[in-house]
């Protein structure tokens, strides 16, 4: 099965999961995680209508981006070190992994200097996993309030990863908790637009629990 067939299958599974949840599949954005793919594979996925791609390794991404179609929207989905923030701003439209205030201050200064606005998602460590990045859920509301006051930053939602499990149902309580947090923040006045949950192993559960950004890599770019 090649990339076109894989994308068709992923789209069909997203649509079925959305319909089970009473949702419109068109409201769910598929981000193809291309960290293992080269420019030729990215162009093949692009030819199938995908326009959003995610990378988590800055150096690899900056080598690929100039070789790919210019209208791709690039998502940075990896842990972001402050000393790499400027280069990420140069290549990416949405940062999924804002998880500390000092990084937010750095991004804010760079955005102001560049005369632009930077779109970010707050990363939440929803399962309180030791050694994993992300905000404790109970600190998220205050963090978003403080970060939203910085110039040049626009907090557009939340991102989280469930703990790895071979059973996608194990992700459901974590995704459900994220949706509840998302709704609570929205009710409090935060401008929440995106809920980035779900990867290749659990994206259907994520759709059922309200995710509107899916980060799918291996199901699209596995070796043919």
- Percentage of the chain exceeding pLDDT 70: 99
Summarize pLDDT for 134-162 with one digit per residue, the tens. 999 999 999 999 999 999 999 999 999 99
C-alpha 45/C-alpha 65 separation (Å) is 14
Question: pTM higher than 0.85 for the full model?
Answer: yes
CATH of domain 3-221: 3.20.20.10
CB 178 within 8 A of CB 140: no
pLDDT of residue 178: 98
Q: What one-character-per-residue DSSP string does 152-219 give?
A: TEEEEEEE--PPP-SSGGGGHHHHHHHHHHHHHHHHTT----EEE---TTTHHHHHHTT-SEEEE-HH
- Average pLDDT (96-120) is 97
Where do the domains of the chain lie? Answer: 3-221
Rounded to 5°, the CA angle 111-115-116 comes to 60
pLDDT of residue 39: 97
- Average pLDDT (77-101) is 96
Structure tokens at 51: 């326009």
Longest distance between any two alpha carbons in the chain, whole Å: 48
The distance in angstroms from the start CA to the end CA of the chain is 6
pLDDT of residue 1: 83
């Amino acid at each position: 099965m090649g990339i076109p067939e894989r994308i068709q299958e992923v789209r069909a599974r997203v649509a079925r999961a959305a319909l089970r949840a009473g949702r419109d599949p068109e409201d769910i954005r598929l981000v193809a995680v291309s960290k293992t793919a080269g420019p030729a594979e990215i162009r093949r996925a692009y030819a199938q209508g995908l326009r959003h791609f995610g990378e988590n390794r800055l150096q690899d991404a900056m080598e690929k981006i100039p070789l790919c179609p210019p209208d791709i929207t690039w998502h940075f989905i990896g842990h972001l070190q402050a000393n790499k923030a400027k280069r990420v701003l140069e290549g990416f439209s949405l940062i999924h992994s804002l998880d500390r205030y000092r990084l937010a201050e750095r991004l804010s200064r760079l955005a102001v200097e560049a005369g632009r606005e930077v779109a970010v998602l707050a990363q939440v460590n929803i399962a309180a996993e030791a050694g994993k990045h992300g905000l404790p859920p109970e600190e998220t509301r205050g963090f978003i309030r403080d970060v939203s006051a910085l110039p040049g930053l626009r907090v557009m939602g939340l991102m989280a990863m469930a703990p790895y499990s071979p059973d996608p149902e194990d992700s459901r309580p974590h995704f459900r908790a994220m949706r509840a947090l998302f709704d609570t923040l929205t009710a409090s006045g935060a401008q929440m637009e995106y809920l980035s949950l779900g990867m290749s192993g659990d994206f259907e559960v994520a759709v059922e629990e309200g995710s509107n950004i899916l980060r799918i890599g291996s199901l699209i770019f596995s070796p043919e």
